[in-house]
Every structure is written in structure tokens, then in C-alpha cells.
């Protein structure tokens, strides 16, 4: 009985200690250092603690990063702003060597595929040290900023270490949004990283809803509504409403994606981008095709129908492919991807059933028409 109680107590204690390490406000440094301000950075399991003297420009920082394997961690200030994010960043870097000792140094970032080479910063750096314990690396440093500095553009990052040498970091979602503007005096964070993350989510939701859901439904309405004897203007108006609203929302999502691409010059999802541009061009062509369609008795009506149908189905196919490419980039919760997969499966099953029913009705009507007396 006593052993069970002891085990439960140890488990609860470990959970408490691990949970307390996840927030900066109640963190106690083993070196007895005290920092007056801190912020839980929005991604990569990272935290920033600092003391700042605005009159002298002395910024004392402790950058904490949780990780399970040996990797390098870096925190930087970019005096050039956040438009370039990495390029021009003045970084302090640390990682654990294979002999167990820590290496801490400065690095000035000059390319997106950087391996964090050692180099001097434009700021004076002192008291640069690092520790690694309990799956957490902490980088300590004091930077000399221009006096009366109130805000900084900060960047933080982590990457692999091979043979005691840092390698280039990946371009997964968290690695591309780890930057933001921080007010050193008011502790207000501009949350640029969270804003970009929300923009990516908005981009994904808008395009999934428009190109990936509403537009295929609109195509099915145009294809199968006539089988159930919808009046000609009725099904056509529903089809136009579905496709037009999907196009408007889709263009908004497409524009958000283009803005994200222009703001994130350090990473480019080339295939996703090319497909998005192609879908936009073909979708715009379809909208104009609805406006400029020839009358039913026009000699080019048949050719217009072939072109309109072919491009329409191509847009749906490319949109579905690009949506799954977007899921691979954003890596959302599996629930969202599984829900969309379920929708696609249900749509495909419905299309197969409706197509079979359409041909059944068509053949029955043709047979009835053939049996009807002529004249």
C-alpha cells in the first residue's frame, strides 16, 4: 500500500514539475538568476526572460527551449525588421557537444539555408553561456542595444546537430512563424507569429470551403439536378450562386496565400503556389465563360459546353490535390484532414450513385419516347 502511494506521489510530482516548466511566470532558474520580465513564445516550446535598462541599452536575456534530442537553439534580434525575418538577424546560438560540454557563440544570419556559422554581431555581447538539463537548453547573454530602445524584432529557431556541427533548420510550420515584435518596457508582444499562423489557417479554411467543398457541390447540382426535373432557371441559378460565392471566397483565400508568400520570402512551397495560381486562372476563366456563354441554338454552344465542363472538372481535381498539399504544409489536427477525406469519399459515392441513376432515368425516358406513337 505504501509503495502504491509513493508511486502515485512521484507521478503527481513529476507532472507538476513538468507542467510548471511549461510557463515562464513561475520558472525558477537553478543559477538563482532573477528576470523581471518574461514571455511564453507562441511556438517551438520556447520562452524568453529578460532584464532591460533603457537608459544604458543593456538587455540581459535567458532564452529557454525544450527539446528531447541534441539540437541547437538560437535567439536573435533583427534590426532590419521582420520583412526578411532571418536575413540580418543577430543571433546567440548554443548546443551540447558529444563530450557533454556546451558550446555558446554568436552568429550573424546571412542566408536562409544557414548552418549558423560563428561570427561577430553588431551588438556588444557579454556573459554568453548555456546550460542543458531536463531536456531544456537555456542560453544566457547580455546585449548592448542603442539607448532608449523600446521594441525589438526577435527571431528564434532550432535545428539539428551532426558531428558537433549545426545543420540547417527545417521549414516546417513552426520554423516559419517563429518571429515577432516585442516591447521591452511594456512586455507587449505583437504576436507576428500568431498572426501569420492565423492567416495560414484562414487561407486553408477559405480555400477548403470554396474550391474544395462548395464548388464541387455546385458542379453536382448542375450535373444531376435536371434528373429530378428541376426547372431550367432554378438549377442554373443555384449552380451560379454556388460557383460565384465559392469563387469570391476562393479568391480571398488565394490572395491571402499570395500575401503570405510575399511576406515569407525565406520559404517557398513551389508546387502549392503554382497549383494555386493555375486554379485561380482557370476559375476566373470559368466565371467569364458563364457570362459570355453562347445561346442554346448557337453553333458554338456545343464546343463551349465541352470547354466549360472540361475546365470545371479540372479545377475541382487540381483544387482537391492542392488542398491536401496545404494540409501537408500546415499540419493541422488530423480531425480536419480526416473530415475533409470523409467529405470527398461521401461526394464520390454520391456522384457514382447519381451518375448510375442518371443513366437509368435517361435510358427509361429514351425507351418511353421510342414506344410513343409518332404523328
Binding site annotation covers 169? no
Using only C-alpha atoms, the chain has a radius of gyration, in whole angstroms, of: 29
Element (H, E) at 138: strand 136-144
C-alpha cell at 272: 502549392
Kindly state the greatest CA–CA separation across the chain. Answer: 104
Binding site annotation covers 308? yes
Residue 182 Cα distances to 23, 155, 198, angstroms? 18, 10, 19
Whether 22 and 28 have beta carbons less than 8 Å apart is answered as no
Beta pairing, strands 102-108 & 136-144: unpaired
Binding site annotation covers 272? yes
Least Cα distance to 49 among 34, 57, 61, 65 occurs for 61
Beta pairing, strands 151-162 & 71-77: antiparallel
Bridge partners of 62, per DSSP, are 49, 140
Binding site annotation covers 303? no
Which amino acids are annotated as binding site, given as ranges?
203, 239, 272, 308
Binding-site positions for heme b: 203, 239, 272, 308
Amino acid at each position: 500500500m505504501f509503495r502504491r502511494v509513493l508511486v502515485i506521489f512521484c507521478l503527481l510530482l513529476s507532472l507538476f514539475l513538468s507542467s510548471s516548466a511549461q510557463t515562464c511566470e513561475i520558472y525558477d532558474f537553478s543559477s538563482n538568476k532573477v528576470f523581471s520580465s518574461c514571455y511564453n513564445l507562441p511556438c517551438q516550446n520556447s520562452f524568453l526572460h529578460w532584464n532591460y535598462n533603457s537608459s544604458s541599452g543593456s538587455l540581459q536575456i535567458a532564452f529557454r527551449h525544450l527539446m528531447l534530442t541534441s539540437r541547437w537553439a538560437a535567439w536573435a534580434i533583427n534590426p532590419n525588421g521582420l520583412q526578411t525575418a532571418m536575413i540580418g538577424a543577430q543571433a546567440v546560438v548554443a548546443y551540447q557537444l558529444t563530450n557533454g560540454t556546451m558550446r555558446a557563440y554568436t552568429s550573424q544570419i546571412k542566408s536562409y539555408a544557414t548552418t549558423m556559422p560563428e561570427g561577430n554581431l553588431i551588438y556588444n555581447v557579454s556573459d554568453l553561456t548555456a546550460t542543458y538539463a531536463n531536456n531544456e537548453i537555456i542560453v544566457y547573454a547580455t546585449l548592448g542595444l542603442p539607448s532608449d530602445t523600446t521594441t525589438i524584432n526577435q527571431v528564434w529557431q532550432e535545428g539539428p546537430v551532426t558531428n558537433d556541427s549545426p545543420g540547417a533548420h527545417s521549414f516546417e510550420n513552426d520554423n516559419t512563424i517563429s518571429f515577432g515584435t516585442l516591447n521591452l518596457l511594456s512586455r507587449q508582444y505583437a504576436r507576428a507569429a500568431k498572426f501569420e499562423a492565423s492567416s495560414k489557417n484562414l487561407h486553408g479554411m477559405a480555400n477548403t470551403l470554396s474550391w474544395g467543398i462548395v464548388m464541387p457541390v455546385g458542379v453536382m447540382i448542375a450535373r444531376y439536378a435536371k434528373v429530378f426535373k428541376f426547372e431550367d432557371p432554378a438549377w442554373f441559378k443555384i449552380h451560379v450562386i454556388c460557383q460565384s460565392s465559392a469563387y469570391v471566397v476562393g479568391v480571398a483565400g488565394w490572395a491571402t496565400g499570395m500575401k503570405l508568400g510575399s511576406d515569407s520570402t525565406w520559404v517557398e512551397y513551389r508546387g502549392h503556389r503554382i497549383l494555386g495560381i493555375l486554379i485561380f486562372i482557370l476559375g476566373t476563366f470559368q466565371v467569364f465563360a458563364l457570362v459570355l456563354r453562347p445561346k442554346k441554338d448557337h453553333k458554338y454552344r456545343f464546343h463551349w459546353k465541352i470547354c466549360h465542363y472540361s475546365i470545371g472538372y479540372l479545377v475541382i481535381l487540381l483544387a482537391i490535390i492542392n488542398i491536401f498539399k496545404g494540409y501537408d504544409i500546415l499540419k493541422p489536427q488530423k480531425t480536419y484532414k480526416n473530415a475533409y477525406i470523409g467529405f470527398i469519399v461521401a461526394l464520390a459515392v454520391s456522384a457514382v450513385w447519381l451518375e448510375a441513376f442518371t443513366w437509368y432515368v435517361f435510358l427509361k425516358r429514351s425507351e418511353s419516347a421510342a414506344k410513343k406513337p409518332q404523328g
